[in-house]
Amino acid sequence: MSSGTGYRALREEAGALEVGRDVVRVFGPDAETYLQGQTSQDIAKLSPGGWAWALVLQPQGKLDVFVRVYRVAEDEFLLDSDPGMGAPLVARLTRFKLRTKVDVEQLPWRAVAVRGPKAVLPTVRPADAGGDLIAVPFEWGNMSGYDLLGPSPAPPPGAAGAEAKDYEAVRVEAGYPTHGRELDDRTIPAEAGLVEATVSFTKGCYTGQELVARIDSRGSNVPRHLRGLLLSGPAPAGARLYRLPLADGPNGGQAPGRGGGAKEAASSAPAAPSPGAGETAPARGGGASAPEASPKDVGRLTSVALSPRLGWVALGYVARAVELGSTLVGREEEGEFEARVESLPLA
């Protein structure tokens, strides 16, 4: 386990590192009206300098891009997203731009993330640094701070340097989902825990609204949920999770160092397999005997990190029938591991 200096700075003081973000500029006389109809957030309520999380959805209501919207001026907005999502975002916004006075372009910008309780938002305006440096607040779960966006942002004085592994541990603990791991074009926003922070239910219509509103009216009763997981040891992202009798798991179903085993979730409701996950568990051992009946997986890890505070932690999708506090078992070629299901953010 690392010394945790960068991790502690990100959680307890102020830590900084460069992170991947794609920045898209939307500008023109109709920019506000256009984004109001293309995103899940109430863009019209933002004043210059204001920001909000938002979703750009497919017409069927599944996710295209998870973005942060920053209002630069009355007729100009910046939308930043995970690396690799800038080009799809430009293509998606351009595709629906009909007879609208608005332009969409990706900027060749970079981002420096500053996180921690002592990460005080600086007074940075678009006019600073030749109009190319903006500080945008960041808040998600128990992670807060801001990002510096621009062609050549630099860590602020006084912020301790952090590494990617430090940031990943803090991100997983906070439950902040990212594209390519927790999010893709099959994601239903309610499954990923995105709705509360990104959706306005009082604004007018927007693309993809019907599915979001229908699921909300039914109590967000989706087949799976993004959860935090405390692991008994290292495990790869993509590993499948199974609900087995506790006696079948290592240590009698008790995660080492995490207290007694939690009771199993009721198995009366069928568990929906995670996208990309198979129907059966990997076989135990070799041999040519007839295969034994294997359980259906009830979850899948999406991100794994080593936390100096909590040990091995993960994000993953777990079937709704699995109760918080349950202990699941993961099987890999290297052996078995346990995963205790927790709410987010991880305390």
Q: In CATH, what number is assigned to the domain containing residue 304?
A: 2.40.30
The rounded distance, in Å, linking the Cα atoms of 213 and 20 is 32
Q: Are residues 228 and 206 in the same domain?
A: no
CA distances from 137 to 120, 159, 194 (A): 9, 16, 18
- Would residue 61 count as lying in a domain? yes
Q: Are residues 118 and 44 in the same domain?
A: yes
Q: Are residues 186 and 168 in the same domain?
A: yes
Domain limit, last residue, from 168, 188, 216: 216
Farthest-apart Cα atoms in the chain, separation = 72
What is the extent of the structural domain holding 332?
Answer: 224-283+292-342
Give the total number of structural domains in the chain. Answer: 2
Q: Are residues 336 and 317 in the same domain?
A: yes
Q: Are residues 176 and 243 in the same domain?
A: no
Domain limit, last residue, from 169, 193, 216: 216
Q: Are residues 264 and 203 in the same domain?
A: no
Q: Are residues 44 and 130 in the same domain?
A: yes
- Would residue 178 count as lying in a domain? yes
- Would residue 150 count as lying in a domain? yes
The rounded distance, in Å, linking the Cα atoms of 239 and 331 is 7
Write down the residue that tokens 């920001």 correspond to. 51
Q: Are residues 26 and 142 in the same domain?
A: yes
* 106, burial (CB in 10 Å: exposed 0-12, middle 13-18, buried 19+): middle
- Would residue 347 count as lying in a domain? no
- Would residue 64 count as lying in a domain? yes
Q: pLDDT digit of tens for each residue in the chain (347 aa)?
A: 345 899 999 999 999 999 999 999 999 999 999 999 999 999 999 999 999 999 999 999 999 999 999 999 999 999 999 999 999 999 999 998 888 999 999 999 999 999 999 999 987 654 444 457 899 999 999 999 999 999 999 999 999 999 999 999 999 999 999 999 999 999 999 999 999 999 999 998 999 999 999 999 988 889 999 999 999 999 999 999 999 764 444 444 443 333 333 333 333 333 333 443 333 333 333 334 444 556 789 999 999 999 999 999 999 999 999 999 999 999 877 789 999 999 999 98
pTM: 0.84
Domain limit, last residue, from 195, 216, 237: 216
Number of C-beta neighbours around residue 4 at 10 A: 16
